[in-house]
Amino acid sequence: MLEIIKEPWPWYVAGPLIGLTVPALLILGNKSFGISSSLRHICAACVPANIGFFKYDWKKELWNLFFVFGIFLGGIISSHFLINPGEMSVNSALKTELATYGITDYSNLVPVQLMNFASLLTLRGFIMMVVGGFLVGFGTRYAGGCTSGHAIMGLSNLQWPSLVATVCFMVGGFFMANVILPIILSL
């Protein structure tokens, strides 16, 4: 049974399971699926400041904090007990392209040459980790939610803003991967 969990699940199994989260949350308590709002709930619970943005009944959203904690705990459990000891499977054409940028180590989920503390002190690492993290956070706040909230929950509820946000996420992702990322990797 453990071997089944260790293997990547095909889209036709994982996709419906993720998709069924939406009606389950709606049926069980009229809850919306999304992760990015959990940071706001944590700040509202832990920061005793008189900031209007954090003045709301965050206790009604306690379920969301447990959900996010479950994701965190699942990540810890899977990284200790379900890790694949072999090299990550990467398309050979992508490996060839990434090798031109000096990326050859696929022993981790993210190549070691991109994400480590030493590369944080380089221009490329700073742009990818700090600037990239800021842009993800800013974009999430600007769009009124993250990709999971808009693409999974918003689209299933036929919300026009979620369709616009999801299209923008996809266009931005394609532009980043094909135009901006090669420039950053060549630094």
Q: Supply 25's token pair.
A: 């949350």
Q: Closest Cα to residue 140, out of 169, 97, 110?
A: 169
Backbone angles phi, psi at 159, to 5 degrees: -90, 125
**pTM of the predicted protein model:** 0.75
pLDDT tens sequence across 85-143:
777 788 899 999 989 988 888 887 788 888 888 888 999 989 999 999 999 888 888 88
Do 40 and 47 contact (CB within 8 A), yes or no?
no
Q: Closest Cα to residue 149, out of 31, 9, 65, 63?
A: 31
- Which residues are CB-contacts of 168 (< 8 A; sequence separation ≥ 6)? 143
